[in-house]
Structure 1
Amino acid sequence: MPISAEAPSGAKPRNAPVKPEERPGLATGFGEEVRDEWHKQTFVRASPKPLGTDVIYYNDRKGVDAMTGYKYKVDGAQKAAGEVIEWGIKGGFRYLPSYKSGGKRFTVGSPGSSYLIFLKNRCKSRLEVVLSVDGLDVIDGKPASFSKRGYVIAPGETLEVKGWRSGWDRVARFEFSSVGGSYTNRRHGDTRNVGVVGLAVFGEKGVNPWTWMPSEVRTRQTANPFATAP
C-alpha cells in the first residue's frame, strides 16, 4: 500500500499559490502625484504591428542575482526597434545599474525609490511608443496591449515617463514597492507580471523611419572628397 507523503507542519503544499505579500522582490507602486502635462497628438500608424518591441526586467539586487547566471554590465540606455529608439530606466538623473544575461536585460532597483522611463527618438520621423509596467498600460492602468494609444515623440526628441497617468496634467510616480503593495495588486489583484517594463514602437503612415538614421548622417558628414583610389 503506497504511503502518502504529508507536508511538514507549517509548510505550504506543493503548487499552492503564493500570496502577493509573501512574494519576494520588487514591483511598482502608485507613488506621489506630480504635475506632468500630456498633450495628445494625432498619429496614424503605418501598421497595427509595431516596428519593434523590447523588455526590461527589474528587481532588487538579490532578485536580479537569482534570475541571472553569468551577467555583464551594460549602459543604462540601449537601442531598440531597429535602433530607431533608445531607452532605459533612470532613478533621478542617472540610469539604474543594468545588466545583460541570456539575451535579456535586467535593471536593479531599491525599495521605496522612484524611477522614470527615459526614451529618445533617434530617427527623423515621429514615433508612437506604448509602454507597460507590470503588465499594465502606463496611461490607463489597465492590461497592456498593442492596440492602446501611446506617447508620440518628435524626431530627435526625448521623453521622460515618470509614472502612471492619473489625469491629463499629472501622474503618480513609479515607485519600487513590494509585490503586495504594487499598483497591479491593489487595483487588479493580479501580480503575475510584476517586474517587467515593456516597450512597443510604431512608425507613422507614409514615412520610412530608417531613411535618415544617425549612421547614414555620419557617413555623409565624413565623406572624403580625396579618398585614396583602390
Structure 2
Amino acid sequence: MLKSILFARALGFRFNHPNMKSSRFIAPIAIASFLASCTAPEVAPSLNRSTTARESAAFSQPPQDRPGLGTKWGETRISRVASTAFERASKQPLAVAAINYNDAAGIRAMAGAVEWRRGWPLLRSPAGSLISVGLRDQSGKFLPGLSIGDRWFVAGEEGRRYSIVVRNRSDLRLEIVLSVDGLDVIDGRTASFGKRGYLIDPYRQLVVEGFRQSTEAVAAFRFGPVRESYANQKYGDTRNVGVIGIAIFNERGTNPWTDREVKKRLKADPFPGRFATP
C-alpha cells in the first residue's frame, strides 16, 4: 500500500508538498523597417515584392490562441502546511470527478440553452456521497454553472481569482488529489493518480487557492487567455486546459461505499429460493 507524508494548513486541513517552480515568459516582437535608396542597384522586383509580402504577413498575424479560458500562474498567497501520514487503501482512487470551466460564451456554445445555477455540482455516486466540490471567486461566491448529463460546467471571467473548495461529507479521513488543466496542483507537473494530495478530516472543508510553491505559499489560480495559462507558459501544451480533476482516496482499514458494492446491493434477491427442496 502507498504511504504518504502530507502537509496541513493552519486551519486544520492537510496537504502534500512537492516543490514548485515558477515560470514567466515574455516574448517581445520587434519589427524592422527597411528603406531602399533610389540609387540602389536594380534587382528583380518580383522577388523583392514576394519576400516583403511574406515578412509583412508574418508580422501582421495575431498571436495564435484558442478561445476560452485557462488558468494562469497568479500572485503569491500565504498557505502554510504541516506534515502527517496517510496510507491509501488502494492504488486506485475510490472515485473520480471533474469540473469543466470556461467563459460564459464558451459554455453556452457547448451547452446551448440550459439553466444556470450557483452552488455545489451534482457529483455521481459514490463521489457525491463523500464530497462536495465547487469553485469560489475572490468575493467568496460560488461561480455559476450548469449540469449537462454527468458533466458540470462552471463559468469564469478573465482576470478573476478563484479557489477550489472541497467539503468532506463523510465520517472518513480522505485524501484528495487535485489537478488544474492537466497539471497536479502541488508539484505543477503532469497529473496522475500516483501523485500525493491533500487530507481532509471528517466533515471538514478544504480550500485550495493555487499551485503550491512551497510549504508556505501558493501561486493563485487566475483565469486568463489560454495562451497565458500556466500549462502553456510552462510546457507549451494546452490539450487539457479547461478541466479540474478530483481523485478521492480512502484510508487503509476503512470501507466506504463503492460503485461495485452499490450495484451488488441493488441486485440482492429477496426470494432467491423459488421452490422447496426435499
Question: What is the TM-score of this pair, normalised by structure 1?
Answer: 0.80
Superposition deviation, residue 70 in structure 1 = 4.3
| Deviation digits for residues 117-173 of structure 1 (CA, Å, limit 9, x no counterpart) | 001111111000000000000000000000000000011110100000011110000
Superposition deviation, residue 187 in structure 1 = 0.6
Q: Distance in 2 between matches of 1:27 and 1:163?
A: 13
Retained in 1: the 8 A contact 2:166–2:207? yes
What is the correspondence of 1:1-230 to structure 2 with a 5 Å cutoff?
A: 21-78=64-121, 80=123, 81-92=127-138, 93-209=140-256
Unaligned ranges ≥5, structure 2: 1-53, 55-61, 258-278
Superposition deviation, residue 25 in structure 1 = 0.6
Equivalenced residue count is: 193
Q: Distance in 2 between matches of 1:102 and 1:20?
A: 35
Computing the radius of gyration from Cα coordinates, the structure with the larger value is 2
Q: Secondary structure at the match of 2:116?
A: strand
Q: 1:114 to 1:136 in 2, by over 3 A?
A: same
Q: Distance in 1 between matches of 2:234 and 2:212?
A: 14
Q: Distance in 1 between matches of 2:119 and 2:243?
A: 15
Tell me the amino acid that sits aligned with residue 95 of structure 2: G
Q: Secondary structure at the match of 2:157?
A: coil
Tell me the amino acid that sits aligned with residue 56 of structure 1: I
Q: Distance in 2 between matches of 1:53 and 1:116?
A: 19
Retained in 1: the 8 A contact 2:129–2:169? yes
Q: 1:109 to 1:193 in 2, by over 3 A?
A: same
Superposition deviation, residue 82 in structure 1 = 4.5
RMSD: 1.7
Superposition deviation, residue 203 in structure 1 = 0.3
Unaligned ranges ≥5, structure 1: 1-9, 11-18, 211-230
Retained in 2: the 8 A contact 1:25–1:63? yes
Corresponding position of 1:217: none
Q: Distance in 2 between matches of 1:63 and 1:207?
A: 41
Retained in 1: the 8 A contact 2:121–2:147? no
Q: Distance in 1 between matches of 2:206 and 2:111?
A: 30
Question: What is the TM-score of this pair, normalised by structure 2?
Answer: 0.66
Q: Secondary structure at the match of 2:241?
A: coil
Q: Distance in 1 between matches of 2:148 and 2:101?
A: 13
Retained in 2: the 8 A contact 1:21–1:178? no
Q: Distance in 2 between matches of 1:110 and 1:33?
A: 20
Q: Secondary structure at the match of 1:83?
A: helix
| Deviation digits for residues 18-63 of structure 1 (CA, Å, limit 9, x no counterpart) | x984211100000000100122321100111111111110000111
Q: Secondary structure at the match of 1:185?
A: helix
Q: Distance in 1 between matches of 2:63 and 2:254?
A: 45
Retained in 2: the 8 A contact 1:51–1:82? no
